Chain A
Amino acid sequence: MIYYGKYFLVAYILILIQSSIFFKKTFNFFVIPDFALIYIFWLTIENKQTIAKYVGLFVGIFLDLVNPDKTFINTFTYFFSTLYIINLKNNFLNFNFILKLLTVILLSLIVSVPKTTYLFFTTGFLVNEDFKLISFYVLANTVMMYFVYYFDIFVLKRNEV
């Protein structure tokens, strides 16, 4: 439990950063990058598939809990996207540039499209801003993932390269 605890704690801190007033007001983003999703991706890249599975579940449940409405959509999308990326990781030993790009785009779409669809079914609204939100969400996650990935490669594991 203590072994998994630190990963849950990191995920929790990332969600806190996502929701912080400082982050929102300072950067004034239209879409906040999904740090938790990037963290799950990073865990899978680092061959921590089991932990990624639990963290994905934890993040989904936590986001559903802080949602003002009672929903299951976050748990479903995050866990499903985690399983998807684990499956991809098992099929491909090493992710090359194109594969990483495709994985992050697909991962973001797996999270964003069901959420938008679910919202459409519950409220009956589907406006242009929804498509804009999906596009920016995918873009923000891709940029952030590459930033984290190259930071990891060129700064944290510099001596290993």
Chain B
Amino acid sequence: MLFNVKRKLLKVTYFLIGISIVLFIIFSNFFKGLSVDFIGVPNKAISSIVESFNNLFVYLQDKKSLLEENKSLKKQIEILKLENQKNFYLEKENEALKKMLDFKNYYGFSHVLVGKVIGFSPDNWVDGFFIDLGKKENIKEGDLVVAGGYLIGIVKVVGQNFSEVMSVNDKNFKITVRTRKTGEICFYNGLDYKKGVLKYVRPEQDIRFSDVVETTVINSSNPEGIPIGIVRKISTKEGEFFREIEIETFYYPYSLNYVLVIPR
């Protein structure tokens, strides 16, 4: 009898110990956390896979529309960029034209034409360019061409809609000029890139360094006072009667855009 009671008590004890262990495990934070981790890892993997599938599905579904949207956005960006460039260009163009207008008002020319440079001479031995003004605009051979307030050339060949201008740097360019300070009359001849010379300058003529050389009305119907260049070098060659005067011109072909044509 006693043996049976002992056995029952032992069973109850085991039971209570078991219950205590279970309750400990259930209410223990450590095991709770551990269990969350246990369930979390596979769930995360599963949810990732599901999400990936969903994303793939959504991507496949929206790919076309997204691409189209992207394309239209890119197009809009390009249009905006172009507009920006256009505005910048218009601003520059406006500045250049304003300068030309100032020049016209300063010299009081009654009639001037604005031409656009459309090309340059294909021949390396010719320094000239083409403008979009021709006979239709009443352009004539010998009209002066001005840019940035300086004489840069003279119209040489006139077509119906276009003309060819010989620049002041060309060796065949010749014009009668005078010096601004002393009013000495000389003969200008183009020489090379940004260079020209004054020919037949007598020793008694008063030519000064840094003096401006400008157009004159003597022996021509050209408007006077348009600057051509600045005196940069004065030298005398031994055994030669005339002095050698070097002029720096202001014709720079690489930035040429609009020019002013002054009809005679």
Contacts and interface: CB of A to CB of B under 8 A. Distances in A.
B123 A67 contact: yes
Contacts of B242: none
Contacts of A156: none
B254 A66 contact: no
A19 B119 CA distance: 6
Interface in B179-215: 189, 191-193, 197
B48 interface: no
Interface string B249-260: 000011000000
B114 interface: no
Contact of B120 (A24, A115, A137): A24
Contacts of A115: 125
A119 B125 contact: yes
Interface centre among B123, B165, B172, B191 (most CB of A within 10 A): B123
Interface residues of B, number: 27
A66 B123 contact: yes
Size category, A interface: 20 to 34
Interface in A24-54: 24-25, 28, 31-32, 34
A115 B171 CA distance: 12
B122 A32 contact: yes
Contacts of A66: 121-123, 157, 164
Contacts of A97: none
A63 B193 CA distance: 21
Interface in A54-70: 63, 66-69
Given A125-B171, A129-B192, A68 B156 contact: yes
A18 B130 CA distance: 13
Interface centre among A31, A67, A68 (most CB of B within 10 A): A68
Given A68-B164, A68-B172, A123-B171, A21 B118 contact: yes
B189 to A, nearest CB: 7
B172 A122 contact: yes
Contacts of A32: 122, 124
B261 to A, nearest CB: 15
A68 B166 contact: yes
Interface in A89-133: 115-116, 119, 122-123, 125, 127, 129, 133
B125 A21 contact: no
A119 B172 CA distance: 8
Nearest to A74: B123
B229 interface: no
Which 4 A-B residue pairings sit nearest by Cβ, starting from the closest? A68-B156, A19-B122, A18-B122, A123-B171
Interface of A: 15-16, 18-21, 24-25, 28, 31-32, 34, 63, 66-69, 74, 115-116, 119, 122-123, 125, 127, 129, 133, 137
Interface of B: 117-126, 128, 130, 156-157, 164-166, 170-172, 189, 191-193, 197, 253-254
